[in-house]
């Protein structure tokens, strides 16, 4: 990678989120500096006027000019300040939105990829906990602007001082004082360069530790129930005590090193520079090169000038240190979606005739050595009720995800109405499925939006479906009906839901979409057996001519299905109706059925 290439690219991208921000910030910096230098300049003029014993009128005039100037400059600065704050708000929102959109827009296999998840998490942590990445880049850009503007002002005014000094007689003392000042400034610069690198390395070390601390405090939050039963707090306390001892030691060591190697020498050089600045300015004042009031302004200019140059010297180190975080940030944006999107339109069929065939399909997860699915051959007939059963990890959910094109087969192909499903327009293909996955997600928005997945809803239909899925009683207790917000994240009047209630809403949402395929991946896990039996009966009726696939652990629910697929270790080991499968006493289904029958007898 070319030197600072990530910084340049990241800056261009970041700036584009609100191109107004940096020019506005630059303008604000100019006004901030005008305010500072004008103040100093006017104070010096007033003291000079006093020391010359000028008339009161001139003094009044100067004071009035100072006050008017300050009022005007400060007012302009205040207006600019507001604009800068607003521009920053827009910039940060758009940047966060771009990051979020990139995440949501990734192919499903990439969102699920543990390396990519880890990458995203690291970017988040570095940005929000350690302020590296784009936050650091913005701070550095602001610092650079502050320094450059400051430098321009102080150098200009410093030039004025030099020209006055040049007009005064030159002596050995002035030469010595100038040499001493130059030496202390140069020493300060050199030291700052070295100290800056050391500080960066120290903070880098602490930063790594802070990330760990943050992960620990988030990952170690005990659940209310487990904490009471297993006294998890004791384990956590022990762990944290040990971690905190280590943390304190590293922190104090770092602080100690920074104090010895950075703070103390820095203070000495600062003291020397300020001391020689005073001596030179006072010496030339005594020689009559400039009036006494100018002492205050020239000492301040000198201080600012050296401070600016020293800060400027820090900037390459800051950029260099942040480069790797920006490279990670950009690498996330560079992840390419490689899933074939297809272009073939999915026919809009009122008869819902979509026949799907799995031809020798095998699938292996990225980074996994073993196949999650092996040689699946299957015809899904339109309108049938299919049950998928099998032990945990036998491949049922993976099978559904391949069917819905969330993953692509590693081997083999899936055909729908004569074409490989890859050929169909991806969005249109997804639109023929309604799935209630185990990790379904409801949003903290009104119930109606959740059911319809849209800004508006058909009230009668939504209400009817909520009744059908068993949510009716709770629904009737809600005075705001479909307008009732779910959860309290954004509305204090929001309702909390039990696992079973949330699942009933998710079922209603799946039915509301009215798609040719409806798939329930253990939809009733959070429901009691009576509610489950009711739902299956009703579902069968509501599903009508749709192709329905149930994944269930409770085999009793599969009895009504036209066909049952038994998965075992990634393969379909049996197919048939409940009666057919039970007749095979050596089969997996027979074994599972009898294992469960003990509990349901
Ligand atoms: P089931 O739904 O029958 O419980 P799954 O389809 O979820 O089974 O899982 C099948 C196999 O694939 C299991 O061995 C599981 O550990 C593995 N697996 C599931 N999801 C992933 C994933 N995202 N990455 C890697 N392996 C996975």
How confident is the model over 447-481, as pLDDT tens digits?
999 999 999 999 999 999 999 888 999 999 998 99
Render pLDDT for 233-254 as a digit per residue (tens, 0 to 9): 788 888 888 888 888 888 888 8
Ligand 1 center to 72 CA (angstroms): 68
**Are residues 431 and 515 in contact, defined by beta-carbon separation less than 8 angstroms?**
yes
Cα 438 to middle of ligand 1, angstroms: 13
Instruction: List CB contacts of 45: < 8 A, sequence separation 6 or more.
Output: 62, 293
Which ligand 1 atom is nearest residue 370's CA? 14
Q: What's the pLDDT at 330?
A: 96
In our burial notation (b when 16+ CB lie closer than 10 A, e otherwise), range 420-451 reads ebbebebeebeebbbbbbeebebeebbbbbbb
Question: Is residue 601 very low, low, confident or very high in pLDDT (cuts 50, 70, 90)?
Answer: very low
| Ligand 1 atom with minimal separation from the 521 CA | 2
The rounded Å distance from CA 579 to ligand 1 centre is 29
Q: State which ligand 1 atom lies nearest to the alpha carbon of 112.
A: 23
In the structure, which protein residues have their CB atom closer than 6 angstroms to any atom of ligand 1? Answer: 112, 365, 368, 372, 390, 392-398
Contacts 24+ apart (CB under 8 A), 496-500: 497/442, 498/526, 499/526, 500/526, 500/527, 500/528, 500/531
List the one residue out of 166, 146, 176 whose CA is nearest residue 304. 146
Determine the distance separating the centroid of ligand 1 and the alpha carbon of 567, expressed in angstroms: 13
Q: What is the chain's mean pLDDT, rounded?
A: 88
CA distance 275 to 403: 78
Q: Ligand 1 test: best mutation among 368, 372, 397, most atoms within 8 Å of CB?
A: 372
Q: pLDDT by residue (tens digit) across 76-97? A: 999 999 999 999 999 999 999 9
Which contiguous run of DSSP H or E holds residue 518? strand 517-521
Shortest-distance atom of ligand 1 to CA 392: 4
CA distance linking residue 374 with residue 24, whole number of Å: 60
Cβ atoms within 10 Å of 562's Cβ, excluding its own? 12
**Structure-token pair, residue 87:** 């521009």
Q: What is the dihedral of CA 420, 423, 424, 426, to 10 degrees?
A: 110
CA distances from 127 to 205, 495, 563 (A): 16, 34, 52
State the residue for tokens 């400027």: 312
Confidence of residue 219 (pLDDT cuts 50, 70, 90): low
State both tokens at 559.
């009895």
Question: What six digits make up the tokens of 18?
Answer: 């609100």
Give the tens place of pLDDT for each residue, 135-176: 999 999 999 999 999 999 888 888 888 898 888 887 888 889
Cα(424)–Cα(202) distance, integer angstroms? 55
- Residue 395 CA, ligand 1 centroid: distance in Å: 6
Task: Measure 437 CA to ligand 1 centroid, in angstroms.
Answer: 14
Residue 548 Cα to ligand 1 middle (Å) = 22
Distance 172 CA to ligand 1 centre (A): 84
Edge to edge, the sheet with strand 517-521 lists 433-436, 517-521, 547-551, 385-390, 563-568, 571-576
Mutate to test the pocket of ligand 1, among 361, 368, 398 (most ligand atoms within 8 A of CB): 398
Q: What is the mean pLDDT of residues 199-210?
A: 73
φ, ψ for residue 189, nearest 5 deg: -60, -50
Nearest residue by C-alpha to atom 26 in ligand 1 = 365
| 441 within 8 A of 489, measured Cβ to Cβ | no
CA–CA distance, 558 with 520 (Å, rounded to integer): 12
Q: What is the pLDDT of residues 284-297, one digit of tens each?
A: 999 888 888 888 88
Q: Given a cut of 60, is residue 541 above it in pLDDT?
A: yes
- When mean pLDDT is compared across 15-24, 221-230, 255-264, 575-584, the lowest value belongs to 221-230
Q: Which of 189, 157, 148, 187 is nearest to 32 (CA)?
A: 148
Cite the beta strand spans of 284-432 per DSSP E.
Answer: 356-363, 373-380, 385-390, 411-416, 419-420
Distance in Å, CA 177 to ligand 1 centroid: 77
CA-nearest residue, atom 21 of ligand 1: 365
Which atom of ligand 1 lies nearest, measured to the CA of 570?
10
CB-CB neighbours of 111 under 10 Å:
14
570: helix, strand or coil: coil
Q: What is the mean pLDDT of residues 106-133?
A: 89
How far apart are the C-alpha atoms of 374 and 353, rounded to whole Å?
27
290 DSSP 8-state letter:
S
pLDDT in tens, 370-393: 999 999 999 998 899 999 999 989
- Asked if 137 contacts 14 with a C-beta cutoff of 8 angstroms, the reply is yes
Measured CA distances, 31 to 35, 146, 311 (Å) = 6, 11, 20
Q: Residues 413-441: what's their mean pLDDT? A: 93
Query: pTM for the whole thing?
Result: 0.81
- Give distance in angstroms: CA of 398 to centre of ligand 1: 6
Report how far residue 195's alpha carbon sits from residue 317's, in angstroms, rounded to the nearest whole number.
11
- Rounded to the nearest whole angstrom, what is the distance from the C-alpha of residue 54 to the centroid of ligand 1? 90
Using CA positions, which residue lies closest to atom 1 of ligand 1? Answer: 393
Q: What pLDDT sits at residue 4?
A: 67
Q: Taking the CB of residue 277, how many other CB atoms lie within 10 A of it?
A: 23
Cα–Cα dist 389/411, whole Å: 23
Tokens 């400060």 belong to residue: 74
Q: What is the pLDDT of residue 598?
A: 63
Q: What is the mean pLDDT of residues 343-353?
A: 84
The CA-CA-CA angle for residues 221, 227, 229, to 5°, reads: 160
Of 512, 495, 479, residue with least CA distance to 446:
495
Pocket test for ligand 1, best of 107, 117, 363, 365 (most atoms within 8 A of CB): 365
Q: Which residue's CA is minimally distant from atom 27 of ligand 1?
A: 365
| Contact call for residues 140 and 318 (beta carbons, < 8 A) | yes
Nearest-CA residue for ligand 1 atom 13 is 393
Comparison of pLDDT for 538 and 253, the residue scoring more: 253
- Give the 3-state secondary structure of residue 112: coil
Is residue 599 over pLDDT 60?
Answer: no
> 405 CA to middle of ligand 1, Å?
16
| Nearest residue by C-alpha to atom 25 in ligand 1 | 365
- Report the SS3 class of residue 72: helix
Atom of ligand 1 nearest to the CA of 391: 3
Per-residue pLDDT, 523 = 65
């Amino acid at each position: 990678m070319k030197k600072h290439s990530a910084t340049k690219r990241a800056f261009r991208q970041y700036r584009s989120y609100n191109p107004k921000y940096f020019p506005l910030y630059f303008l604000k910096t100019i006004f901030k500096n005008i305010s500072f230098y004008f103040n100093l300049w006017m104070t010096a003029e007033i003291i000079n006027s006093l020391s010359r014993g000028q008339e009161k009128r001139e003094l009044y005039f100067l004071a009035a000019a100072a006050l008017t100037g300050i009022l005007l400059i400060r007012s302009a600065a205040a207006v600019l300040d507001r604009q800068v704050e607003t521009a920053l708000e827009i910039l940060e929102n758009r940047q966060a939105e771009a990051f979020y959109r990139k995440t949501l827009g990734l192919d499903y296999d990439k969102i699920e990829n543990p390396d990519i998840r880890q990458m995203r998490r690291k970017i988040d942590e570095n940005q929000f906990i350690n302020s590296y990445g784009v936050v650091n880049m913005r701070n550095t850009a602001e610092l650079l602007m502050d320094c450059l503007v400051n430098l321009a002002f102080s150098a200009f005014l410093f030039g004025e001082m030099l020209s006055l000094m040049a007009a005064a007689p030159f002596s050995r003392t002035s030469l010595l004082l100038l040499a001493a000042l130059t030496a202390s400034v140069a020493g300060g610069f050199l030291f700052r360069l070295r100290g800056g690198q050391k500080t960066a390395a120290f903070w880098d070390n602490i930063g790594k530790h802070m990330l760990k601390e943050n992960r620990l405090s988030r990952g170690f939050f005990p659940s209310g129930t487990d904490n009471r039963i297993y006294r998890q707090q004791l384990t956590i306390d022990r762990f944290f005590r040990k971690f905190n001892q280590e943390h304190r030691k590293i922190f104090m060591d770092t602080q100690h090193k920074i104090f010895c190697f950075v703070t103390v020498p820095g203070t000495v050089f600062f003291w020397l520079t300020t001391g020689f600045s005073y001596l030179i300015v006072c010496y030339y004042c005594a020689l009559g090169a400039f009036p006494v009031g100018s002492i205050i302004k020239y000492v301040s200019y000198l201080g600012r000038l050296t401070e600016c140059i020293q800060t400027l010297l820090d900037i390459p180190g800051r950029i260099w240190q942040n480069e790797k975080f920006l490279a990670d940030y950009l690498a996330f944006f560079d992840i390419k979606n490689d899933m074939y999107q297809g272009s073939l339109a999915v026919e809009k069929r009122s008869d819902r005739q979509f026949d799907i065939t799995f031809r020798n399909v095998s699938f292996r997860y990225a980074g996994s050595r073993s196949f999650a699915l092996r040689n699946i051959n299957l015809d899904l007939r339109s309108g049938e009720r299919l049950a998928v059963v099998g032990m945990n990890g036998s491949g049922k959910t993976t099978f559904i995800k391949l069917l819905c094109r969330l993953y692509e087969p590693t081997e083999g192909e899936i055909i729908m109405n004569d074409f490989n499903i890859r050929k169909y327009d991806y969005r249109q293909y997804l639109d023929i499925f309604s799935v209630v996955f185990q990790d379904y997600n409801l949003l903290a928005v009104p119930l109606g939006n959740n059911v319809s997945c849209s800004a508006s809803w058909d009230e009668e239909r939504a209400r009817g479906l909520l009744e059908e899925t068993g949510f009716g009683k709770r629904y009737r207790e809600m005075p705001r009906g479909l307008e009732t917000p779910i959860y309290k994240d954004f509305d204090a009047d929001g309702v909390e839901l039990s696992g079973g209630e949330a699942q009933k809403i998710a079922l209603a949402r799946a039915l509301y979409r009215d798609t040719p395929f409806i798939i329930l991946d253990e939809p009733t896990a959070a429901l009691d057996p009576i509610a489950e039996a009711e739902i299956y009966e009703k579902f069968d009726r509501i599903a009508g001519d749709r192709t329905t696939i149930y994944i269930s652990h409770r085999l009793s629910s599969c009895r009504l299905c036209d066909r049952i697929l038994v998965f075992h270790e990634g393969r379909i080991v049996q197919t048939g109706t409940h009666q057919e499968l039970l007749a095979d006493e050596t089969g997996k289904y027979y074994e599972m059925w009898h294992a469960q029958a003990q509990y349901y007898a």
